[in-house]
Amino acid sequence: MIVSRVLDYGFCAWFVGAVNMVEEGEYFEGCDLEGPLRCIFLCEFHPTAGPKITCQVPDNYISKEVFDAVSVYIIPKAQLQRSILTVTLLGSKILGFPIRIDNKKYARNAFYFNLCFVCDAWARSVQYEPVVKKLSDHLITMELEKRFLSNPQNENVPLSAMLKQVMEDLNTYRMCTLTEGTTTMHLKVVKISKEPSPVHDHQVPIFIEEQHKFRSEQWDLTTYQVLPYIDGFNHIAKIAAEADVENNLVKACVQNLMYYGVVSLLPIFQYSNVYAATPKLRLLAENKDLQQRCIKYVSKSVRQPPALRDIFRMYSSMTYGTTVRDLCVRLNPHPLRINERKLVQFGLLKGLIRRIYKYPVDLSEDNEVNAKDSLHRSFTGLQSVDEICCAHGLSNQQFEDQVEREPNVVLIWK
Amino acid sequence: MEPNPLSIILVKSDSKGDRLLFRYPYAADARNEAGHQSRRRNPYALTITEDLLQTPPPQTSNICKGHLTGFSDEVLSTLFAVKPELCERKFELKVNDVRFVGHPTLLSDSIILTNIVFALHATASHSIVKCYYDLSKRLGVALRHEERRCGYLSQETKTMVMAHDEVSARPEGEKADDADTPFDLILQRSTLARNLKSVYDDLISTGLVHVRVNRWIEVSFCLPQKVHQFYKKDFIIEPESIHRCLQSLRPYHGLLLLVESNELLDHMHPDASPALVRLIRMYSPLKSLQTLAADADLTLSQMFQLAGHLLYWAKATVIYPLCESNVYVIAPDAPTHVNSPLTERFSEHFPGMNLLQVMSDFSLPTSISQKMNPLNHPQHQKQLVQMIVWMLQHRLLLQLHTYVYFMPTASGPSLPQDGLGRQHSHSLHHSSTRDGSYQSTPDEQLSISVGGLMGGRAPSESDLSSNISDDVLVTPGNKLNGLPIQTSGSLVSTDNEVSFVNVLEEEKSSLVREELLADFSDEERTAILKIPAAANPEDLLLLAQLCRMGYLRGCHHLEEIMYLENIRRSQLLQLLDKFRDVLVTCETEDPAIALFYSHSYT
């Protein structure tokens, strides 16, 4: 039923594509998919008739009965003015931003209106919230300037055309430009992404897309300065030093790049690192496409690609207690034409392997806290060796020599 | 934080209009408004009298320190006293960053409407919202029943309305210094209000709700996203992933109770299923679900249902039954902080032991048998097992399983045969077992042609008997999957000369090999035959068999293969060793039960 309704609106181009990919059965509440706008309507509080829809595209999508049932959430009490209200009822999701304009010229000394977007009940609607807000503010201005909404002579013809354009453009291009006299108004549906996790000194940013695709002028100057040093091997502290940019600025840049899905964070590569295969490794055995990409990524030279079995053997040999150094000694990747650093990179990016971190924990009683130096104070079990080494400027070997002399410090690998 | 409710609100609507009867917690709002006013009194703040765009400062958040704020009782009551056409269905309203969910319930005479609404964080996942909706519905149904039975709700409504009126009727002066709200009075007088308070408190503290509405109707509810959290603050298990786990549960899996079985039995309701009681009496972490079912005299499907129940309510977790060969490592999300509360609890449980010290022993994959030392005191052994159980209960340990991939050629794994090929081999097997007749299935034709080779002797009784004996051998257990081997002509040899039998044997064995390898491509065949062990038909048979069943594609761990094929671990390990050139092994966790660890990949 839903699909047929989608096809009625031939202009829902981006969405129809999505329909082809997923089965109809996947549209249930909570499926976390975005859906098209089904309808846009404007309603106002009429001085005598009460709440009513003044303009709707397409016509009669929201019937009189439905509207009466939900009007209390669309023209709400004063306390809820200028709040984003979303009500999910009777198979639709109605998103609105109620507005009140106080002025003596109106019948009740105030004009109430609400511009509402309607989606299916299963669809996400958060991404439309800023658009509704912006469009409502635009309407306020137009109303203040030329009684765009409240003038009965207007017959709402321009408004109807405008809403129609907004709906069609947002559904097709996910953005819309409205021109009204001399003012231009841009609306865009922005993808809501999660807040990126904090970036630490010892982590390594790596591009997950082709680099040339975004080497455009879109980034700020600091990011420009940082970008050339992101090569998948330099960690944050090193990038900061080499790019001559303050450490925290680099972190902010990288976090921003993460937000846009351009880079991802990896643990620093060392031959003393331990990795372990994950259940996802099975994908490499099953997925031909992934196999091709993997071979291409990890090969030492383009002309002589390595054998998949050798790659697979490298990955599957990764387990607790086996360092990359051990692996290299045992399997000798160079004659196999495998670049082990790229191998680890690819495995981490695709989740085929995960890093096993080492945490030093000081088990001695806490009575001599003051006597401890800063290195020992970091043995709380919260900081991994990577972090500690990076903070104290130690190499892994130096660190191990230090810890070996301490009977009270245990190492936990996880 | 997300699974926690912000507030619970009770609204009624009847002939006298709508009214918010009770909300909990209620103190937060007053406090916040006071704070708001004091902020205004900041002497350095600019007061802008003229607002150009007529817009009061937009309110973008209605959450303050985990409590609902910015809604007066009147606003809430108009929002939640819904129109009749919206009753008895899901009510969901999002205002800024708060999501309200409830199930408006009509009472007996369809005039009185009651709505128990939960205020949640708007970011709470859909499954959380669904669970709260369910809880609201359950409470509503209980209230309706009690209203019908003895007019419980009308009585409670009266009590609450009276308390509201009493407070608002107080003289002005008294109200100012008397800080208590009507809700304090209501809490003292109304059992329903106390029930709602305890629902809220339970949801905040454990996620398990047990209340008796009017001391009569039992309402119990479990918020899985909260119950499974344990000590991991922002780790959420969705009910969907629990269902997925149940789907992939196999009879060889085992249960691990997260609470003492005696405690569980004590807290069980008097009308709990006797099957569950029996199960818990027979419970042991050493038993697989299959054994448990047999011991508790349950069918396997009953067993799975009970396991699902225990799992959902976070009373148990799924493990592979404890045995000496199990290999454990530290779970990636195990807390290693020196001062983590777990270390304290561990020391209480096992005096003199340090959790982190014990954990560090599992930094390398360690099996129980490795830790067992025959010279140790039995008491120590016992304690060791108990410690492992404790760490598994707290999800500090992870079990590693060995998975095997068949990779005969350098180009990687042999891709699974397409469905057609597999089906063909199956149907073949099927027809030959069904009736050992001379139907022209390839098997039979082959053996007939063998017969033809034997000194020009026409296919006769002996061949027939050998064919039949094939089928007889194949049918029991079906484990050999239609490979007519091991016939060794025992029936045939009775009426033939010895030399002839030898010839036949040789012919047979090469034939057997050919048949075994029929599934493989030429390249794969040469790779397999290069291995010395391939000369041994038994080894080859086992390998071909495992390949054909699809066990060597990394989807089945050794224990599963052992269970499915009924073979011993040593046998399997030997095979892995003999054919190590074409097999790749890999140690990872069992994805079926990995959902309990926050690093799990789906």
- Of the three residues A321, A339, A356, the one that is the final residue of a domain is A356
B240 membership: H or E segment, kind and range: helix B239-247
DSSP B436-484: -S----HHHHHHHHHHHHTTTPPS-HHHHHHHHHHHHHHTGGGTTTT--
Which tokens belong to B580?
């190590």
- CATH, residue A214: 1.10.10
- CATH, residue A41: 3.30.450
- Of the three residues A124, A158, A188, the one that is the final residue of a domain is A188
Give B203's contacts (C-beta < 8 A, 6+ positions apart).
Answer: B4, B5, B209, B223, B226
Q: Is the complex ipTM more than 0.90?
A: no
Residues in chain A: 414
In a domain, A9, yes or no: no
Q: Are B520 and B528 in contact (CB under 8 A)?
A: yes
Q: Within this chain, do residues A363 and A327 fall inside the same structural domain, yes or no?
A: no
Residues of A in contact with B134 (CB under 8 A): none
In a domain, A5, yes or no: no
Q: Residue A266: which pLDDT band, with cuts at 50, 70 and 90?
A: very high
Query: Which residue bears the tokens 């001695």?
Result: A364
3-state secondary structure of A333: coil
Q: Within this chain, do residues A252 and A152 fall inside the same structural domain, yes or no?
A: no
Alpha-helix runs per DSSP H in A211-301: 221-226, 236-243, 247-259, 281-286, 288-298
Cα–Cα distance for residue pair B280/B28, rounded to 1 Å: 44
Give B19's contacts (C-beta < 8 A, 6+ positions apart).
Answer: B11, B12, B13, B77, B161, B164
In a domain, A28, yes or no: no
Q: Within this chain, do residues A307 and A371 fall inside the same structural domain, yes or no?
A: no
Residue B70's pLDDT is what? 81
Tens digits of residue pLDDT in A159-189: 888 899 999 999 998 888 888 777 888 888 8
Q: Within this chain, do residues A41 and A184 fall inside the same structural domain, yes or no?
A: yes
Tell me whether B111 touches chain A (CB under 8 Å): no
Q: What is the 3-state secondary structure (H, E, C) of B44-76?
A: CCCCCCCCCCCCCCCCCCCEECCEECCCCHHHH
Within 27-46 of A, beta carbons closer than 8 Å to B belong to 29-30, 32
In a domain, A109, yes or no: yes
Mean pLDDT, residues A335-354: 92
Query: Which residue bears the tokens 């041994």?
Result: B536
Q: Within this chain, do residues A99 and A150 fall inside the same structural domain, yes or no?
A: yes
Q: Which of B92, B127, B365 sits opposite A320 (nearest CB)?
A: B365
Inter-chain residue contact B337 with A79, CB threshold 8 Å: no
Inter-chain residue contact B336 with A412, CB threshold 8 Å: yes
In a domain, A148, yes or no: yes
pLDDT at A381 over 90: no
- The number of C-beta contacts closer than 8 angstroms across A and B is 183
What residue of A is the nearest CA neighbor of B98? A85
Phi (first) and psi of residue A124, to 5 degrees: -75, 150
- Of the three residues A188, A216, A246, the one that is the final residue of a domain is A188
Tell me whether B402 touches chain A (CB under 8 Å): no
Q: Within this chain, do residues A80 and A155 fall inside the same structural domain, yes or no?
A: yes
Instruction: Look up residue A115 and give its amino acid.
Output: L
Alpha-helix runs per DSSP H in B82-213: 126-150, 152-169, 172-177, 182-189, 191-205
The residues pairing with A271 across neighbouring beta strands, listed in sequence order, are: none
Cα–Cα distance for residue pair A408/A376, rounded to 1 Å: 11
Instruction: Give the residue numbers spanning the domain of A229.
Output: 203-267
pLDDT at A106 over 50: yes
Whole-structure pTM value: 0.80
Q: Within this chain, do residues A64 and A162 fall inside the same structural domain, yes or no?
A: yes
Inter-chain residue contact A382 with B587, CB threshold 8 Å: no
Inter-chain residue contact A285 with B411, CB threshold 8 Å: no
Query: Which residue bears the tokens 């807390």?
Result: B335
Torsion angle of alpha carbons B253, B254, B256, B261, nearest 10°? 150
Residue B308's pLDDT is what? 92
Cα–Cα distance for residue pair A375/A393, rounded to 1 Å: 11
Whether cis (ω within 30° of 0) applies to the bond prior to B416 is: no
Tell me whether B92 touches chain A (CB under 8 Å): yes
Q: Within this chain, do residues A180 and A257 fall inside the same structural domain, yes or no?
A: no
For chain A, the average pLDDT equals 83
Cα–Cα distance for residue pair A371/A365, rounded to 1 Å: 12
Burial of A207 (0-12, 13-18, 19+ CB in 10 A): middle
Give B494's contacts (C-beta < 8 A, 6+ positions apart).
Answer: none
CA B527 to chain centre: 41
Q: How many CB atoms lie within 10 A of CB A133?
A: 15
Q: Residue A86: which pLDDT band, with cuts at 50, 70 and 90?
A: very high
Domain positions in chain B are 5-32+59-170+181-228, 239-319, 327-395, 506-595
Q: Within this chain, do residues A122 and A73 fall inside the same structural domain, yes or no?
A: yes
Which tokens belong to A91?
């198979």
Q: How many domains does chain A have?
A: 4
Residue B333's pLDDT is what? 85
Tell me whether A351 touches chain B (CB under 8 Å): yes
Residue B102's pLDDT is what? 94
In a domain, A164, yes or no: yes
- Sequence-separated contacts (24+) of A176-185 with Cβ below 8 Å: A178/A138, A180/A142, A185/A134, A185/A135, A185/A138
Q: Within this chain, do residues A176 and A238 fall inside the same structural domain, yes or no?
A: no
Inter-chain residue contact B336 with A79, CB threshold 8 Å: no
In a domain, A66, yes or no: yes
Residue B319's pLDDT is what? 92
Residue B337's pLDDT is what? 85
Cα–Cα distance for residue pair B597/B232, rounded to 1 Å: 10
Pick the CATH number of B5-32+59-170+181-228 from 2.60.40, 3.40.190, 1.10.10, 3.30.450: 3.30.450
In a domain, A131, yes or no: yes
Tell me whether A192 touches chain B (CB under 8 Å): no
Residue B370's pLDDT is what? 86
What residue of A is the nearest CA neighbor of B61? A83
pLDDT along chain B (602 residues), means of 10: 88 88 74 44 56 54 80 88 86 91 84 90 89 94 91 91 87 57 88 94 91 90 86 77 89 92 85 89 92 93 92 91 92 85 90 89 89 81 90 91 89 56 38 35 35 36 37 36 40 46 60 72 83 84 87 90 91 91 90 74 43
Q: Within this chain, do residues A47 and A174 fall inside the same structural domain, yes or no?
A: yes
The residue ranking higher by pLDDT, A74 or B270, is A74
Residues of B in contact with A377 (CB under 8 A): none
Q: Within this chain, do residues A303 and A409 fall inside the same structural domain, yes or no?
A: no
